[in-house]
């Protein structure tokens, strides 16, 4: 007998279920408090439970999976088109159930606690970096109101402020000078938070599966290696390296009708943080690598720098997937020897 499929709409307190009984075809709807959800499914036969990959979804996937159920996480944007007419919890649960019956919607891999912990470190670091940037921008704009102009760049601007502090204080009221001191103290504290998080992320490189392997790929540093390892897991959530690169938005978006297709810029789908790390790593390779791949040198001749950087980032993502999915070590210049029509694997950056 086929398993019953449940569409589960998650929320902070009230959980909404939608299902169809396999034997009778009867439609079932139920609203449960958060504390009763695990108890409800513990009393049910093994079933297939689908939910959106939103906040708390990976936690509930692990909880319900431990009860013997098959849990599937669906991309939120792929579920939204199935919401008909007015939107409410019942409509959302029904949309999840309908989307779960579409075989062409890619499922989101369920992350372990370790993977989510590493991602939390990265997100927290990203938060403090944005706070640092905002604080510097506020300081720069306030000083500009008093005729003080700092040169561009975080390090260069703060260095110039420190070197010219005596002259700048002569232009500022006493209260404003105290305000500048407070902003500088805040920046120092924020930098301490960032340094501590980067130290913790570096420590995770040796503990996280595949991070040390990914670290050997040119253009992938400590941040990129740990973030990729946390994202990929065992790599089985994607069918190929191309699939993984596309999920990060490193492929051209396209639109077309009447047999004519227009290719645009990159789609920018998926994780913007990881995409940014890969593109910055690609720029570092282009700027500093002594022995660039021939295909990259040829591409730089005929295409703009940004296009080449994204192409190399795409290659790095595909390489990372191949190393993880096939359990290999990075080898510069390696090529596969698969027959024509075989699956493509590249382990070069």
pLDDT tens digits, 84-109 = 888 899 999 999 999 999 999 999 99
Number of domains in the chain: 3
- pLDDT value at residue 338: 55
Q: What is the pLDDT of residues 228-241, one digit of tens each?
A: 999 999 899 899 99
200 with 291, same domain: the answer is: no
241 with 317, same domain: the answer is: yes
Over pLDDT 70: what percentage of the chain? 95
Any domain includes 179: yes
Residue 324, pLDDT > 90, answer yes
Helices (H), the chain: 37-42, 57-65, 76-79, 89-100, 113-144, 154-163, 165-171, 174-204, 211-214, 222-232, 241-247, 272-288, 294-302, 305-326
- pLDDT value at residue 349: 38
What confidence tier does 249 reach under pLDDT thresholds 50, 70, 90?
Answer: very high
196 with 227, same domain: the answer is: no
222 with 307, same domain: the answer is: yes
Q: Mean pLDDT over residues 311-321, rounded? A: 95
Among the three residues 100, 123, 155, which one is the final residue of a domain in this structure?
100
Q: What is the pLDDT of residues 250-273, one digit of tens each?
A: 998 888 888 888 888 888 888 999
Any domain includes 333: no
226 with 184, same domain: the answer is: no
Cross-strand bridge partners of residue 73:
51, 108
Residue 43, pLDDT > 60, answer yes
Calpha distance 60→49 (Å, rounded): 10
- pLDDT value at residue 305: 94
Residue 277, pLDDT > 60, answer yes
| Region of poorest pLDDT, from 59-63, 134-138, 177-181, 259-263 | 259-263
Among the three residues 100, 125, 144, which one is the final residue of a domain in this structure?
100
Q: What is the pLDDT of residues 282-309, one digit of tens each?
A: 999 999 988 888 999 999 999 999 999 9
Residue 325, pLDDT > 80, answer yes
Asked if 60 contacts 73 with a C-beta cutoff of 8 angstroms, the reply is: no
Calpha distance 191→204 (Å, rounded): 20
Residue 214, pLDDT > 80, answer yes
Residue 2, pLDDT > 90, answer no
297 with 229, same domain: the answer is: yes
Q: Mean pLDDT over residues 63-79, rounded? A: 94
Domain that holds residue 34: 5-100
- pLDDT value at residue 206: 83
Burial status of residue 268 (CB atoms within 10 A of its CB: 0-12, 13-18, 19 or more): exposed
Burial status of residue 40 (CB atoms within 10 A of its CB: 0-12, 13-18, 19 or more): middle
34 with 52, same domain: the answer is: yes
Report pTM: 0.86
What confidence tier does 341 reach under pLDDT thresholds 50, 70, 90?
Answer: very low
Any domain includes 118: yes
Any domain includes 314: yes
- pLDDT value at residue 85: 80
Asked if 245 contacts 231 with a C-beta cutoff of 8 angstroms, the reply is: no
Residue 197, pLDDT > 80, answer yes
- pLDDT value at residue 343: 47
């Amino acid at each position: 007998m086929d398993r019953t499929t449940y569409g589960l709409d998650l929320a902070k307190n009230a959980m909404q279920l939608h299902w169809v009984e396999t034997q009778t075809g009867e439609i079932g709807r139920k609203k449960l408090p958060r504390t009763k959800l695990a108890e409800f499914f513990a009393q049910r036969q093994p079933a297939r439970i689908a939910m959106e990959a939103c906040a708390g979804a990976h936690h509930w996937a692990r909880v319900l999976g431990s009860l013997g159920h098959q849990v599937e996480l669906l991309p939120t944007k792929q579920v939204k088109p199935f919401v008909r007419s007015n939107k409410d919890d019942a409509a959302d649960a029904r949309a999840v159930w309908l989307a779960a019956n579409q075989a062409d919607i890619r499922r989101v891999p369920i992350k372990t606690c370790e993977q989510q912990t590493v991602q939390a470190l990265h997100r927290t670091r990203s938060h403090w970096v944005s706070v640092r940037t905002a604080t510097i921008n506020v300081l720069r704009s306030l000083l500009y109101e008093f005729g003080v102009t700092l040169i561009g760049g975080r390090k260069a601007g703060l260095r110039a402020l420190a070197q010219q502090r005596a002259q700048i204080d002569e232009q500022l009221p006493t209260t404003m000078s105290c305000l500048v001191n407070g902003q500088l103290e805040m920046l120092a504290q924020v930098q301490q938070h960032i340094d501590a998080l980067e130290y913790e992320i570096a420590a995770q490189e040796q503990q996280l599966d595949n991070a040390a392997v990914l670290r050997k790929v040119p253009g992938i540093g400590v941040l990129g290696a740990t973030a990729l390892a946390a994202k990929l897991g065992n790599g089985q959530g994607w069918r190929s390296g191309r699939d993984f690169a596309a999920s990060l938005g490193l492929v051209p978006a396209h639109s077309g009708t009447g047999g004519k297709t227009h290719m645009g810029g990159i789609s920018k789908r998926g994780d913007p943080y990881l995409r940014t790390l890969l593109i910055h790593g690609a720029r570092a390779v282009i700027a500093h690598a002594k022995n660039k791949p021939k295909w990259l040198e040829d591409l730089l001749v005929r295409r703009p720098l940004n296009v080449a950087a994204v192409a190399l980032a795409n290659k790095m993502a595909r390489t990372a997937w191949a190393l993880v999915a096939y359990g290999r070590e990075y080898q510069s210049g390696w090529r596969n020897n698969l027959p024509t029509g075989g699956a493509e694997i590249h382990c070069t950056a």
